[in-house]
Amino acid sequence: MSTVVITGANRGIGLELVKIYAGRGDTVLACCRNPGAATDLAEVAGTVEILETEVSDAKSVAALAESLQSRAVDILINNAGIMGPAPAKQSVQEMDFEGWAETFAVNSMAPVRIMQALMANLRASSDAKLVTITSQMGALSLDMPMAYAYCASKAALNKFMKMAALELGKEGINVCVIHPGWVQTDMGGAAADITPQQSAEGIVKTIDGLNADNNGSFWKWDGETHDW
């Protein structure tokens, strides 16, 4: 059985990931910024510990690490993310720079902050996996000229994790980023291609297949690789 840390665990893809891991008997440390309002998360059956975490806040992330002490973490899933400013305010013509900074804080920097805060916990596992949910919109190989702040935040995240894989792979920690598909969540909207459950099932299967040979990969939710 594994110990799995998931951020943004109270709704969307994160909540479905919690359900799957808890359902198969793993221990889930489910991070969300407002546990009191996380009613769906509180109802998930299994071993689920709900931990208050605002991923872009240094003190909050430090408190998360403190609460874990020397506990081994087998899988860290950086899932929390935001779309950023309104579409018209993150374009070539106009940019809400404060909103862009917030988008970077949550999508690009928070996964790194959490990775560093929980590094000792990952190192305490004999088979550690550091997974970050990215987006195809952060791929340089894909021309999708919209949501510029969001796209740039995921591109920065991808680059960091691709480099981190080179270093952490030497210690046996698999580092990857996964595009979850276009998913019917608050972020993806009702018209999206797949349900959060389908996305989460694919993501978990992909994580199950991580090993030393495929370290540093950019995956799609269905287990195919994605071009950087």
Ligand X SMILES: NC(=O)c1ccc[n+]([C@@H]2O[C@H](COP(=O)([O-])OP(=O)(O)OC[C@H]3O[C@@H](n4cnc5c(N)ncnc54)[C@H](OP(=O)(O)O)[C@@H]3O)[C@@H](O)[C@H]2O)c1
State the minimum distance, in angstroms, from the CB of residue 10 to ligand X: 5
Instruction: Using alpha carbons, list the distances in angstroms from residue 114 to 14, 64, 110, 156.
Output: 16, 9, 6, 16
The correct pick among 26, 48, 61, 81 for binding ligand X (CB under 6 A) is 81
Q: For residues 47 and 28, is the Cβ–Cβ distance under 8 A?
A: yes
Closer by beta carbon to ligand X, 28 or else 80: 80
The correct pick among 65, 124, 192, 220 for binding ligand X (CB under 6 A) is 192
Tell me which residues in 31-70 interact with ligand X (CB under 6 A): 32-34, 53-56
Tell me which residues in 115-154 interact with ligand X (CB under 6 A): 133, 135
Per DSSP, the residues of 185-221 read STTT-TTSSB-HHHHHHHHHHHHHT--GGGTT-EEET
State the minimum distance, in angstroms, from the CB of residue 169 to ligand X: 23
Closer by beta carbon to ligand X, 106 or else 119: 106
Question: How far apart are the C-alpha atoms of 168 and 177, rounded to whole Å?
Answer: 14
The correct pick among 61, 73, 77, 82 for binding ligand X (CB under 6 A) is 82
Pairing of strands 48-52, 174-179: unpaired
Provide the token pair at 21. 């891991």
- Is 85 among the residues that bind ligand X (CB under 6 A)? no
Q: What is the binding site for ligand X (CB under 6 A)?
A: 7-8, 10-14, 32-34, 53-56, 79-82, 106, 133, 135, 179-180, 182-183, 185-188, 192
